[in-house]
Amino acid sequence: MYYETTFTDELIAFLLSCRSTSIRKKILWERIQKKRKISQNAYYQNIYRLKKRGILEDKNDTLCLSQKGKIFFQNPYRKVERKPLKDNKVLIIFDIPETKRKVRTWIRNQIKEWDFEMVQKSVWIGSGPLPKEFIERLKYLKVNDGVKVYNLRKKQ
């Protein structure tokens, strides 16, 4: 609800509510309802679902994003901007199930961005070591068990 309100909506609701959060919510709801033409029942169902999933929480009678909600709305599939160091060569092998196709595609696009060469569809070779942010993102997406990174050395 609050992401659809403008600064003007918030200001009007604040000024007309006399610091009453329930009145402020009603004013904001009416302004959003005019914009979206949504029923109040559908609105409360959506709020209930988001609370049940742990994305929203009530703090002092105000809806706020929970920690899980903040993480949820940060896009985990955005590019890792930091490039790997060119200290040595690494081999990346990944085996990610079909159900996580979006993650698999993200990994491929990310390592293509770093100029890795494809040996096979899920075997890539390039410069390393990989940035910590990339490894942390794999852990967040719960695919770190399916991704193996090996450091390569020349045999002397």
Transcribe 43-102 into DSSP letters: HHHHHHHHHHTTSEEEETTEEEE-HHHHHHHS-TTS---SPPPSSEEEEEEE---GGGHH
Rounded to whole angstroms, the Cα distance separating 66 from 84 reads: 33
Say what the pLDDT of residue 80 is: 76
Residue 33 has pLDDT above 80, yes or no: no
User: For residue 56, how many other CB atoms are within 10 A of its CB?
Assistant: 20
Rounded to whole angstroms, the Cα distance separating 25 from 5 reads: 11
116 falls in which pLDDT band (50, 70, 90)? very high
Q: What pLDDT, in 10s, does the model give residues 64-87? A: 888 877 766 777 777 777 777 777
Residue 103 has pLDDT above 80, yes or no: yes
Please name every residue paired with 136 in a beta bridge, in sequence order, or none if there are none. none
Residue 28 has pLDDT above 80, yes or no: yes
- pLDDT: which is higher, 1 or 9: 9
Q: Do β-strands 117-120 and 56-59 pair in parallel, antiparallel, or remain unpaired?
A: unpaired
- Token pair in block for residue 26: 């009603």
Place of tokens 């994305």: 55
How much is the mean pLDDT over the chain?
A: 82
The DSSP output letter for 130 is P
Q: How far is CA 148 from CA 9, 49, 69, 117, 135, in A?
A: 50, 37, 29, 16, 10
* Amino acid residing at 37: K
Say what the pLDDT of residue 118 is: 93
Going along the chain from its start, the domains and CATH numbers come out as 2-73 (no CATH), 88-152 (3.30.70.240)
Residue 3 has pLDDT above 70, yes or no: no
